[in-house]
Structure formats: C-alpha cells, structure tokens
Amino acid sequence: MDYKEITLMINHEVEPFIADILNELGANGIVIEDSLELQKGRIETFGEIYELNPADYPDQDVRVKCYYSQFDYNDRLLTEIEQAVYSLHDVEVTRFEISTAAIKDADWENEWKNHFHAFKASEKFTVVPSWEDYQAEDDEEVIQLDPGMAFGTGDHATTSMCLRLVEQYVKPGMSVIDVGTGSGILSIAAHRMGAAPIRAVDLDKVAVRVAEENFAINHCQDAIETDTGNLLVCETETRDVVIANILAHIVDLMVDDAFNLLNEDGLFIASGIIDEKEKLITDHMIAAGFKVVTVMREKGWVAILARKVQ
C-alpha cells in the first residue's frame, strides 16, 4: 500500500494542538520535528537515548509530518487541517505551510524507522524499536515496539505520563482495561507491573492488529485480550483500572461508564487532555463520584489519575 505524507511548517505556539488536530482528522504516524529539540542536546532525565541528528530538524519553528494510507487520503484534508489550525482560540498562527508527497510503503517504513529510537519513557520503562539491539540495565523494563500505523511509541507526552502513572499505581493482580490501545504500549506496561487480566480495545482495526503484533513481540499475547471496541460501550466485566489516552472530548464521553465499570477504589487513568480541557474533565469526574488523586502536566497536556470512592 502507498501513503501520502503531509508536511506542515508551523510556529511553536501551534505545536501543542497539532497532534490533536491531526489525530481528529485520522492521521497516523505523526512526527514532530521541533527546532528547539536540538538546543536541548542529549537527554536529561527521560528522552531519547541517542544524539539527535541536526539534519532531521528544521532551523526554526516546527516541522510536522503525518501519514495517510492511499485509501484514507483526499485533497479536502489539506483545507480541513488549515481551517482547524486557524480556528484555534487564543493562538496566534504566524507560520502555516502545507505540502504533500506520495511515498511508497517501503519508504514509509524507512522514514518511520529514522525517527523512532530507543528512549527512556519513565523511571522503569525504556521503549526500544523492535528492530534495534539494546542492552538493558538490570532494573530496566524494556518494551519492544513496532508501532506501524498505530499511535503510541511512548515519546508523546500523553503516553509517557500514562506510563509513569501505570508504573506508580498499577499493582500485581489488578484487572485492567486499556481503551484506545493504539500500539498496545500501555497494556504491555500494565502486564509488566503484574496486572491481570488485561483487555485492550481500539476503534481502529489496524491498531488492534498492530497491538496484537506488539503483544507477541513482548511475549504477552496470551495475557492480554484484544478486541475492536468503542470506549466502554459494550464492556460488562468490572475492572480495577481503566486507562484511556484518547482526546478530552472523547474521554469526557466515558467518565460515567468508567465509574460504573470500576470496582470500589478502582483507578481511572485519563490522558490526551489539553490544558484548557483539564477542568472540564476533572469537574465531570468529581460529579460522577471520582476523587482526583493526581494531575500530571507536560508540554500543554495533562494526565489525570482519579479513584472511585464510595
């Protein structure tokens, strides 16, 4: 299958919102090349475990690349992306350029591989591309991933905050449902923390297939049940933990179902929420009966951990 690559040049103020906009419009494999990344140099605490290549980054502003399969792409998308960017409230758009290129399947894979390298996503978890050799330290939990067209390499703030919350709060024997599993990364992390049983669902059939492949790569395919599913709509089994890294307005739709599905003292880990939507979600959680335990913030995103109290 061939792909269409859309390249955007935007100013920094637009960056926190761009993944949200592109995800909404069905993009896969979003790559953000921020000129400021180069200035940061090598990792401090969490981040990529290799030197950044200056050739991969623009001299200024932010370059964003995203990919659509030939079946999902149409020319209207370009106008829709432009309209969404210029409709952002309180964001001054000083640069917006958009271009497209057709790329072959094999080129897409190579392009993707150029951007995905081993990196430390949290205290415990290091994410390593399945094609890379990596020598783990004793206390390191390595998650091997081939994200393909699914979201979730772990380097996006929304995913890495979830990894840190999973690491801190998910305990052996807890039952988990991972809604919007994408690459399956959060289910693999929950499995490594000893959670069982685990169910991973996604609306997107491609994500479900990619997640299954990643479960096999990480030898946990028998421990994680995978299925297509729309939020918690058809879920009947109660859980100790509900995880959802989607987008605020979608998370908002599942707050009451999460409360009803959780066991007493159960945890709801919700991410994919932009700063501006934090209050909307925490207000809804509190109204549903949750106690907000902790809120993590990074790069304009928040992840919330709430507990069901009765």
Ligand X SMILES: C[S@@+](CC[C@H](N)C(=O)[O-])C[C@H]1O[C@@H](n2cnc3c(N)ncnc32)[C@H](O)[C@@H]1O
Q: Which residues are annotated as a binding site for S-adenosyl-L-methionine?
A: 159, 180, 202, 245
Spatial contact of 163 and 125, defined as CB atoms under 8 Å apart: yes
Residue from 15, 48, 167, 204 in contact with ligand X (CB under 6 A): 204
For ligand X, the closer of residues 181 and 226 by Cβ is 181
For ligand X, the closer of residues 246 and 285 by Cβ is 246
Spatial contact of 185 and 159, defined as CB atoms under 8 Å apart: yes
302 binds ligand X per the rule CB under 6 A: no
159 binds ligand X per the rule CB under 6 A: yes
For ligand X, the closer of residues 148 and 229 by Cβ is 229
68 binds ligand X per the rule CB under 6 A: no
Q: Which of residues 218-237 bind ligand X (CB under 6 A)?
A: 229-231
207 binds ligand X per the rule CB under 6 A: yes
Nearest to 99 by CA among 215, 207, 4: 4
Q: How far apart are CA 135 and CA 189, in angstroms?
A: 19
Query: Among the candidate windows 6-14, 50-58, 245-253, 273-281, which touches ligand X by CB under 6 A?
Result: 245-253
214 binds ligand X per the rule CB under 6 A: no
Quick one: tokens of 32? 């953000």
> In the chain, what is the greatest distance between 2 CA atoms, to the nearest angstrom?
55
For ligand X, the closer of residues 17 and 61 by Cβ is 17
Amino acid at 288: A
Spatial contact of 219 and 246, defined as CB atoms under 8 Å apart: no
152 binds ligand X per the rule CB under 6 A: yes
Quick one: tokens of 116? 């995905």
29 binds ligand X per the rule CB under 6 A: no
64 binds ligand X per the rule CB under 6 A: no
Residue from 250, 267, 270, 285 in contact with ligand X (CB under 6 A): 250
Contacts of 214 (CB under 8 A, 6+ apart): 130, 144, 145, 146, 147, 183, 184, 185, 188
Q: How many CB atoms lie within 10 A of CB 247?
A: 19
Nearest to 286 by CA among 267, 261, 309: 309
Q: How far apart are CA 77 and CA 81, in angstroms?
A: 6
What string marks each residue from 264 to 283 as x (binds ligand X by CB under 6 A) or -? Answer: --------x-----------
For ligand X, the closer of residues 61 and 204 by Cβ is 204
Strand 224-228 and strand 198-202: pairing? parallel
Least CB distance from residue 234 to ligand X, whole Å?
11
Q: How far apart are CA 179 and CA 198, in angstroms?
A: 11
Query: Among the candidate windows 81-89, 176-184, 276-284, 300-308, which touches ligand X by CB under 6 A?
Result: 176-184
**Which residues form the interface with ligand X (CB under 6 A)?**
150-152, 159, 162, 179-182, 185-186, 201-204, 207, 229-231, 245-246, 250, 272
